[in-house]
Amino acid sequence: MGKNHLGEFEEIVMLTVAILHGEAYGVAIIEEMESRLNRTVSIGSLQVVLKRLEQKGYVSSEFGEATNIRGGKRKRFFTLTNLGKGLLKTSRDQRLSLWDAAPDYALKAISI
Amino acid sequence: MKSNHHSPPSILLKFFRWFCDPNLVEDIEGDMVERFEKRIENKGHKKARRLFVRDVFQLLRPGIIKSFSGHQKLNQIDMLKHNLLISFRSFMRYKSAFLINLIGLSSGLACTLFIYLWVQDERGIDKFHTNDANLYQVITHHEESGAIRTQDDTQGILAEALEKEVPEIEMALQSTPAFWFGDMPLTIGDKTIKAPGKFVDKRYFEMFTFPLIDGTAESVLASKESIVLSESLAKSLFNTTEGLIGKTLHWQLLNMERTYQIGGVFEDVPANSTETFDFVMSYEVFSDIVGDGMQWGNYNALTYVTLKPNVDVDHLNEKLAPFVKNKVSWSNVTPSLRPYSDKYLYSKYENGVQAGGRIEYVKLFSIISIIILIIACINFMNLSTAKASRKAKEVGVKKAIGAQRKTLIFQYMEESFLMTFVAIVLAIGLVLLFLPQFNDLTNKQISLVFDTNLVKALGAVLVITGFIAGSYPALYLSGLNSITALKGKMKSSIAELWARKGLVVFQFTISIILIVSVLIVHKQIDFVQNKNLGYEKENLVLFANEGKVATNHDAFIDRVKALPGVVNASSTAHTIINGGSTTTGLTWEGQNPEIETSFGNISVFHDFIETLGVEVIAGRSFSNELVSDSSKLILNEKAIEVIGMTDPVGKMVNLWGQDMQIIGVVKDFHFQSLHETVTPMFFKLDPSFLTNIVVRIEAGQERTVVDRIESVYKEYNPDFDFNFTFLDQDYAQQYASERRISTLSRCFGGIAIIISCLGLFGLAAFTAERKSKEIGVRKALGASSVSIVRLLSNEFNKMVGLAVLIALPLSYYLISGWLEGFAYQIDLKVWYFLGAGAAALFIAWLTVGLQTFKAAKINPSQSLRSE
């Protein structure tokens, strides 16, 4: 892992960007996360994470066309870069290998 | 388009656009607006707005807020950072110069700050009355013996006449000063407390702002039987300030007594009031006491007026001038108005014209504070230019790569501003640290409150000091030629050398003037306090003639006289040191009717002249046996001189229409402040109105004798505290403010000298360092340490010597001007000046010598090793 470590929130944001695939902009990401994960997300915290991910080179962004809604402001669409995709994959593989390594009985919830 | 109703609050949007990083502003704003629009549909308008507000504030976080350095990297900001870094490094590298500058500047600034606080406090005295702008005191100018004497006392009937007859005056009222009566006993049950009080007009609290805790300004003194107490007096009498209205208490003055009802309670008189008192009573009572003494020739009140808005005071003063003379044609009195709050600072009048007063000290200290600051600035200027050679390479490089002169000036200004700022912070710390001592010294309760005035003053000091201190190095260093600067061959120009030397000479000139002034001010005040007064002021005990002592006065005096250890005892209506009543009612045959002369009028009991120890030079003193002595007078030499009598004993004069015989003449003695010369006076035997008892006791056993007097006093007044003073202490008290000024000026003078020496120390260290190779070579060739010290300190000796030559005549001129204000002056002796000059030289030698001696001691192999 080394440098390329992803925080939990970062990973979720990147996965949501992947889900929305090409339609990922601020409000859409927030709504997707809120509906799937049942957690509230503020614009501020999302934007800070997106900015950081972009600086690290995991996502890239471009402006879309201006529309009549949202006060005529353009949307900024985020997509995963190859680096980001690779990182997500590594992350998942590592998790899975950890899952595999853990014995079943250790993960079984006791008497519920 | 959408209606206004459906758009998010625009002020919040504007706020967001202002703080947000411009890279992010468009899409985040879009997101917010989109969310807002969706929320209006789902959750309604109100909730959407509320959530929008939350969104905006949740965006206030690092990463979203734009960086402070601005969106575009500005060159100026980088330069500012760079300059600060350079300044910081140079501070770190040349620690001694930095410390000298810092200590000098911060102690100079601390002095300035102290003086600022003191001056503000002095100027604020009596200013707290809400109608301060329209509040005036009536003072009276008396034409006497060809000169005009000005006094605060006015006729008791003046106020009423003024209010009735002068339309410009809104309200006029009279009161007595509290010091006329000393502490008067107030009794409730078996508790007696003595407190200072005065008689005032019933509208007193309407005119003056002494807030009432209980009662209203209109009603507290409505009745003649009313007394109004201060908060602390009420607490010590009743342990409370509430529900006291209507309670009675018993009041005494001499052999008079009354029962008063409490009309109200006022907050304690603040420390910045010149009038201090603990209770007030109706002036009508005083009128009754004075009786038919309420006339145009008698001065038994202070008169205050408030003017109607937009009244021209100068014009009104002209109009008022003949006011009293129009009433009574024989009067020599011209009243005039003085702003009430000027009483403290502008109290001195010479020949009827305002001639300063305490304001002179305020001005003096303001000047001293500026001088101290300038001296500290000069240190900074001198050290920075002296060290120019170190900076020359930096300037050369900067100029070579295209720095403008402007940029360099800016850089050095920045350095000096940084320095000043650090010094101000340190100075504030110093002030906070030493404020208690300063308050002790000045007898004030000053605190450091960061109000707008102080912040403004500090800002101004920062700008001015930073500018003065930085100007010379900034202009000088930035003007260097880049080629010579880079070569490192810094040749000090003649002009620069002169400027630096000139500044040192200036610094020391001022320091020497300060030393001389401090020395002579101290001597003068010492002189005044130890002057022969014409009587022995030691071992005289004073206390009030009050209670049963007053009613059994003669018996009491006899009892006291009989006590072992008591030399003599008597009593008087005079305060002896503060002055007392005066009269123009003494006339004599052959008097020029045009000139009125006021005589000190001292009513005494038998043996007073003997008790005080005043010398009788002709005739005799009052006798215990002769009853007829009540129609006799004893005059002083000055009075005889004014009357122009030869062989006066036995001759007749007329006092208040009654023929009196002169039975004796006493040698002149001081019965007033030493600011004034001895004036004519007479002693009159008058047992009816004696306020103070004076007892002369044997030296060496003061305590036991006073205890004996107290036990006799307690037999008469068992409920009273025995409050006594020694005359010499009272006398010292009278000059307390002068003494404080003297101590204060000594402190500031000392600091100025220390700061000057710091500068000299820095310069000497620098010269020694620069000449280290020369010293090394000289030593290697066999020069002794002493000759090297001499070599190095020669330059400084010349500068300080020159400063002495300039300073001495200048200080002589200044100080003789100051001494003229005193009626009795010390002789200016040559050694005061020579001593101060020698002291300055000695201090300079010491500072320079330490440094040069250190330099001369260095092993030449060390200084010659490098290179």
Sequence-separated (6 or more) residues with CB below 8 Å from residue B552: B716
Which residues make Cβ contacts (< 8 Å) with residue B783, sequence separation at least 6? Answer: none
Spatial distance between the Cα atoms of B711 and B716, rounded to a whole number of angstroms: 9
pLDDT at B1 over 50: no
Pairwise CA distance, residues B770 & B491, whole Å:
13
Q: Cite the DSSP H helix spans in B597-676.
A: 608-612, 637-643
Partner residue facing B28 (CB), from A26, A63, A69: A26
pLDDT one-digit tens code per residue, B36-75: 888 888 888 888 888 888 888 888 887 788 766 555 556 7
Tell me if A26 and B27 make a contact (CB, 8 A cut-off).
yes
Q: Which residue is listed with tokens 């050369």?
A: B396
B-chain residue closest to A49, CA distance: B63
**Chain segment A55-107, per-residue pLDDT in tens:** 888 999 888 887 777 777 888 899 999 998 999 998 899 889 998 898 888 88
Closest approach of B65 to chain A, Cα-based (Å): 10
Task: Quote the CA–CA distance of B438 and B402 in Å, as a whole number.
Answer: 52
pLDDT at B115 over 50: yes
Residues of chain A with Cβ-Cβ distance to B35 below 8 Å are 27, 30, 43
pLDDT band (50, 70, 90) for residue B35: confident
Count CB-CB contacts under 10 A for residue B287: 18
According to CATH, the topology of domain A8-92 is: Arc Repressor Mutant, subunit A (1.10.10)
pLDDT tens digits, residue range B792-839?
788 888 888 888 889 888 888 888 887 877 767 777 778 888 888 888
Task: Please give the average per-residue pLDDT across B354-379, as a whole number.
Answer: 82
The yes-or-no verdict on residue B770 having pLDDT over 80 is: no
Torsion, Cα A46 A51 A55 A58, to 10 degrees, reads 40
Biggest CA-to-CA distance, chain A: 57
Kindly calculate the radius of gyration of chain B based on its CA atoms and give it in whole angstroms.
37
* pLDDT for B842: 85
In contact, B446 and B117? CB cutoff 8 Å: yes
What are the pLDDT digits (tens) for B700-712?
778 888 888 888 8
DSSP string, B717-763: -TTS---EEEHHHHHHHHTHHHHHHHHHHHHHHHHHHHHHHHHHHHH
What is the C-alpha separation between B332 and B813, in angstroms, rounded? 38
Number of H helices, E strands in chain A: 5, 2
Q: What is the pLDDT of residues B385-430, one digit of tens each?
A: 777 667 777 888 888 888 888 888 888 888 888 888 999 999 999 9
Q: Which chain A residues are closer than 8 Å to B32 by Cβ?
A: 43
The HSE-up count of residue B639 (CA atoms within 13 Å, CB side) is 28
For B478-516, give one letter per residue: b (16+ CB within 10 A) or e.
bebebeebbeeebeeeeebeeebbebbbbbbbbbbbbbb
User: Which residues of A have a CB under 8 Å from any CB of B?
Assistant: 25-27, 30, 42-45, 47-48, 51-52, 63, 69-71, 73-76
Cβ–Cβ under 8 Å, residues B218 and B206: yes
Which of B6-10, B339-343, B368-372, B657-661 has the least mean pLDDT? B6-10
Rounded to two decimals, the ipTM of the complex is 0.84
pLDDT one-digit tens code per residue, B834-866: 888 888 888 888 878 877 787 777 777 777 776
Binary contact (A69, B31; C-beta < 8 A) = no
| Of the listed ranges A76-90, B306-320, B602-616, B619-633, the one predicted with least confidence | B619-633
Q: What percent of chain B has pLDDT over 90?
A: 1
Q: Does the pTM exceed 0.90? A: no
Domain ranges of chain B: 4-58, 76-125+355-491, 132-343, 492-532+730-867, 547-719
CB B641 within 8 A of CB B715: no
Q: What is the pLDDT, as a whole number, of residue B580?
A: 66
pLDDT of B377 > 50? The answer is yes
Helix (H, G, I), strand (E, B) or coil at B415: helix
Where is average pLDDT lowest: B236-245, B427-436, B448-457, B584-593?
B584-593
| Cβ–Cβ below 8 Å for A47 and B59 | yes
- Residue A73 has its nearest CB partner, among B26, B54, B60, at B26
Q: What percent of chain B has pLDDT over 70?
A: 94
The verdict on a CB contact (< 8 Å) between A74 and B37 is no
Q: Do B28 and A30 touch (CB under 8 A)?
A: no
